[in-house]
């Protein structure tokens, strides 16, 4: 403990780091005239909620990428780690494009601003994460200059002299906030708005022109009416009673961000959405229909100008869903004892499939269905994106226990396999389909084939294992194996399998059997991966593989085109080296009868890449890459007796070579001493069983 630091020094350190200038900006206050100056300089401060959300998303930028010949846009907002990095969303580019298009259309007034946005998908598919990210993003954006917005307060007291009145002299306790933190431009009378808007918008882009929609809330309407009567209709004097201030969204403070979730029907009523009577103030103001005796603090009220989230929306009682009808279509809500009140907010809900099916079958909810835009949020079906989800929670910063290479990858692989539909092509396995989706190439499959695979699998990603289940089981493995000091894929896969019998969402024994069979496929794939890694650590010569590949390609090119190969040493032209070609092809079980087909596939693949302006790289062709490494390993394995690890009888020379391989596994592949030793022992046991070739 550092006893040399005093409490005062620690306080000063905190004080010096505080950004007082930002605090002053976020707490700006001024007159209505000063606010109009801001509107003239920065018209975007008067945006509606949909425009603000769309601009927020676009402020983080975009990037284009090609996936299966389809041009996609990745919106960086959803994966940006400058705020809430733990909520980053990966691998849902197409659903997120649909989501942003919804906001784009709403921002431009094309009609979707009159709809409820409903995210629909299986449990754990990141529906609530996307909404949470939008809410946090809006909070963060409202604190920036680009995202600034304003509201106003009322001073209902008496002003003796309007010429000398200084609003700064009024005590804070005497200002009454607008309960719905409305847009200050609502204070402009309706019959005068057209001239004002025409003047402001004359130099603005059509998509960015200001629109003043809606009217004052009941409380502000009361103050406005009272003051207009006091000053005999002098609007300029009424505006002296108004103070405009910067508005910063905060879900915790219930400003601009609302959340509503289902509870027990007996303990929940619609006042939670639209506010309730303040019985204590009825005695002061004499009537329950006086707006000052009403708390306009329902979720719809406080979420005005921002976002309201409906958690598990379709679990709500029908009475609550009726409130959504006017809120979405007319942008109005009905509070008890008051006329309809205008709102400006994004209404977004999320639900699971069983509830949505119930809505579809309920003929009494036609009006809500007609006002709902559904966006499907499926599970991730690309392996690398699923891995990123787990790396976010299980990394060196958060987890002290060593996680052996491929542990998260194998768990993610199983999760993705459970979500994929069986391919209809007879020569394609489910694992191969997963690899194609992940960007690998297979002979005979083009990007057009991948597009077809996705088209034919209509419900892909809407069923399967949730990431939450995987995260829980990885966590169990970490806790159970703390004494070992590390976890490996087998430990996690065992946890995943043992949990299946008690999985709450698996009721079908056939489905449980399918998931177990997929675990067996993943174990086999892991075995192949670690064999390959050990082989690479033994051979560990990229240049040698490149030379071997170039030699093989030269020979099969000459073979398929019935030409001869020039010997690089003698300069003489010779027949293609059949022995070399077969020694490579046999490593991946290409029979003699299929060798011509395989060689033509490789040449066609190289030709197709050349047409697209791409260069052939053996790493992108998984089968060929594997064959080349196995061939190189076969040529070098006699120099190291790996199987001696099993017998535990190791001479000094062999031990030194094994230590070199282990060091390479640690340096190049991310193992630690213990996990590298275990992997070597595991692979050695395979070779000892005579399983070196498959």
Strands 573-574 and 565-566: antiparallel
Confidence check: pLDDT of 652 > 80: no
Q: What is the pLDDT of residues 560-569, one digit of tens each?
A: 988 888 877 7
Tokens for 384, please give them. 């690398």
Sequence-distant (6+) residues with CB within 8 A of 194 are none
Residue 304 falls inside a structural domain = no
pLDDT classification of 302: cutoffs 50, 70, 90 = very high
pLDDT at 456: 86
In a domain, 594, yes or no: yes
* Same domain? 389 vs 515: yes
| pLDDT on residue 366 | 82
Q: Print the SS3 string covering 595-629.
A: HHHHHHHHHHHHHHHHHCCCCCCHHHEHHHHHHHH
Using CA atoms, how far apart are residues 193 and 167, in angstroms rounded to an integer? 26
Instruction: Note the helical H segments in 561-594.
Output: 578-585
My answer on whether 525 and 593 are in the same domain is: no
End-of-domain residue from the set 512, 536, 560: 536
How far is the C-alpha of 378 from the C-alpha of 462, rounded, in Å? 5
Q: Please give the structure tokens belonging to residue 336.
A: 């008890």
Per-residue pLDDT band at 408 (split at 50, 70, 90) = very high
Residue 510 lies in a domain: yes
Q: What is the reported pLDDT for 645? A: 57
Q: Count the residues in the chain.
A: 694
Identify the pLDDT of residue 403: 93
Q: Is 498 in the same domain as 567?
A: no
Q: Is the pLDDT of residue 647 over 70?
A: no
Please state, in angstroms and rounded to a whole number, the distance separating the CA atoms of residues 316 and 588: 57
The answer to whether 531 and 629 have CB atoms below 8 angstroms apart is: no
Residues 387 and 532 in one domain: yes
Which of residues 519, 536, 553 is at a domain's end?
A: 536
Output the pLDDT for position 650.
Answer: 63
Residues 390 and 500 occupy one common structural domain: yes
pLDDT tier, 235 (very low <50, low <70, confident <90, very high otherwise) = very high
Q: How many domains does the chain have?
A: 2
Give the domain extent around 623. Answer: 541-639
Per-residue pLDDT, 146: 94
Q: What DSSP string describes 73-112?
A: EEEGGGT--SS-GGG---S-HHHHHHHHHHHHHHHTTSSG
Q: Are 227 and 241 in contact (CB under 8 A)?
A: yes
Q: Classify residue 25: in a domain, yes or no.
A: no
Tell me: do 451 and 391 sit in the same domain: yes
Q: Which of 620, 618, 643 is nearest to 632 (CA)?
A: 618
Ramachandran assignment for 186, one of left (phi > 0), alpha (psi -120 to 50 degrees), beta (any other): alpha
Residue 257 · residue 249 · CB < 8 Å: yes
Q: How confident is the model at residue 646 (pLDDT cuts 50, 70, 90)?
A: low
Q: Looking at 167-176, 383-392, 403-412, 572-581, which range is the least confident one?
A: 572-581
Give dist(CA 619, CA 496) in Å, integer.
31
Is residue 325 pLDDT above 70, yes or no? yes
Say whether both 420 and 531 belong to one domain: yes
For residues 575 and 475, state if they share a domain. Answer: no
> Could you tell me if residue 48 is inside a domain?
no
User: How high is the pLDDT of residue 540?
Assistant: 62
What is the reported pLDDT for 642?
60
Across 426-450, average pLDDT: 85
Residues 516, 401 share a domain: yes
The domain boundary, picked from 599, 622, 639, lies at 639
Q: Is 222 among the domain residues?
A: no
Residue 557 and residue 504 share a domain: no
Are residues 332 and 343 in contact, defined by beta-carbon separation less than 8 angstroms? Answer: yes
Domain presence at residue 269 = no
Residues 445 and 574 grouped into a single domain: no
Share of the chain above pLDDT 70, in %: 94
Give domain status of residue 412, yes or no: yes
For residue 271 the two structure tokens come to 């006042």
What is the overall mean pLDDT for the chain? 87
Q: Are residues 468 and 553 in the same domain?
A: no
For 256-286, the pLDDT digits (tens) are 999 998 876 666 777 889 999 998 899 888 8
> 3-class SS at 62?
strand
Q: Is 302 exposed, middle or buried (0-12, 13-18, 19+ CB in 10 A)?
A: buried
By C-alpha distance, which of 414, 402, 409, 420 is closest to 499?
Answer: 414
- Quote the CA–CA distance of 627 and 622 in Å, as a whole number: 9
């Amino acid at each position: 403990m550092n006893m040399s630091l005093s409490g005062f020094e620690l306080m000063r350190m905190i004080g010096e780091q505080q950004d007082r200038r930002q605090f002053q900006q976020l707490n700006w206050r001024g007159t209505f005239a000063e606010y109009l100056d801001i509107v003239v300089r920065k018209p975007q401060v008067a945006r509606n909620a949909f425009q603000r959300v769309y601009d927020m998303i676009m402020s983080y930028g975009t990037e284009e990428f090609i996936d299966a010949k389809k041009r996609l846009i990745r919106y960086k907002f959803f994966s940006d780690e400058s705020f809430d990095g733990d909520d980053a969303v990966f691998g849902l580019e197409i659903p997120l494009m649909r989501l942003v298009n919804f906001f784009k259309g709403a921002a431009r007034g094309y009609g979707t601003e009159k709809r409820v946005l409903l995210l629909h998908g299986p449990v754990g598919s990141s529906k609530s994460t996307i909404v949470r990210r939008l809410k946090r993003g809006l909070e963060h954006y409202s604190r920036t200059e680009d995202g600034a917005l304003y509201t106003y307060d009322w001073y209902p007291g008496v002003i003796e002299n309007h010429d000398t009145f200084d609003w700064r002299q009024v005590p804070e306790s005497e200002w009454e906030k607008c309960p719905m933190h409305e847009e200050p431009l609502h204070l402009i009378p309706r019959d005068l708005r057209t001239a004002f808007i025409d003047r402001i918008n004359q130099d603005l882009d059509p998509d960015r022109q200001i629109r003043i929609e809606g009217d004052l809330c009941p409380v502000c309407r009361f103050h406005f009416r009272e003051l207009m009567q006091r000053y005999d209709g002098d609007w300029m004097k009424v505006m002296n009673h108004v103070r405009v201030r910067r508005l910063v969204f905060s879900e915790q403070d219930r400003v601009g961000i609302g959340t509503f979730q289902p509870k027990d029907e007996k303990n929940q009523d619609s006042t939670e959405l639209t506010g309730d009577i303040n019985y204590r103030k009825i005695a002061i103001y004499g009537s329950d229909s006086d707006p000052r005796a009403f708390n306009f603090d329902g979720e719809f009220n406080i979420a005005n100008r921002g976002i309201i989230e409906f958690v598990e929306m379709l679990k709500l009682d029908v009475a609550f869903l009726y409130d959504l009808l006017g809120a979405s279509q007319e942008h109005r809500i009905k509070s008890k004892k008051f006329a309809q009140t205008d709102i400006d907010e994004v209404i977004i809900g999320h639900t699971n499939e069983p509830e949505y099916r119930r809505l579809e079958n309920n003929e009494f909810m036609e009006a809500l269905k007609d006002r709902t835009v559904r966006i499907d949020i499926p599970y991730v079906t690309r392996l690398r994106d699923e891995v990123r989800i787990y790396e976010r929670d299980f990394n060196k910063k958060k987890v002290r226990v060593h996680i052996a290479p491929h542990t998260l990858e194998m768990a993610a692989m199983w999760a993705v396999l459970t979500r994929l539909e069986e391919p209809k092509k007879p020569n394609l396995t489910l694992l191969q389909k997963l690899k194609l989706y992940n960007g690998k190439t297979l002979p005979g499959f083009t990007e057009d084939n991948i597009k077809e695979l996705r088209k034919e699998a209509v419900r892909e990603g809407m069923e399967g294992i949730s990431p939450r289940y995987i995260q829980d089981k990885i966590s169990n493995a970490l806790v159970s194996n703390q004494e070992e000091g590390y976890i490996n894929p087998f430990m996690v896969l065992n946890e995943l399998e043992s949990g299946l019998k008690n999985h709450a969402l698996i009721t079908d024994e056939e489905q449980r059997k399918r998931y177990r069979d997929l675990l067996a496929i993943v174990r086999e794939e892991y075995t192949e991966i670690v064999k390959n890694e050990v082989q690479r650590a033994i051979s560990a010569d990229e240049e040698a593989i490149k030379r071997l590949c170039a030699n093989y390609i030269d020979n099969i090119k000459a073979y398929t085109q019935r030409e001869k190969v020039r010997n690089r040493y003698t300069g003489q032209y010779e027949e293609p080296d059949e022995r070399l070609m077969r020694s490579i092809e046999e490593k991946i079980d290409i029979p003699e009868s299929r060798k011509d087909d395989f060689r033509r596939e490789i040449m066609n693949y190289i030709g197709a890449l050349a047409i697209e302006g791409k260069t052939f790289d053996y790493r992108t062709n998984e089968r060929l890459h594997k064959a080349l490494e196995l061939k190189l390993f076969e040529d070098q394995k006699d120099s190291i007796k790996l199987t001696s690890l099993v017998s535990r009888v190791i001479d000094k020379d062999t031990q030194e070579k094994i230590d070199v391989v282990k060091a390479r596994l640690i340096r190049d592949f991310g193992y630690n001493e213990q996990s590298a030793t275990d992997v070597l022992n595991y692979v050695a046991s395979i070779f000892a069983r005579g399983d070196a070739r498959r």
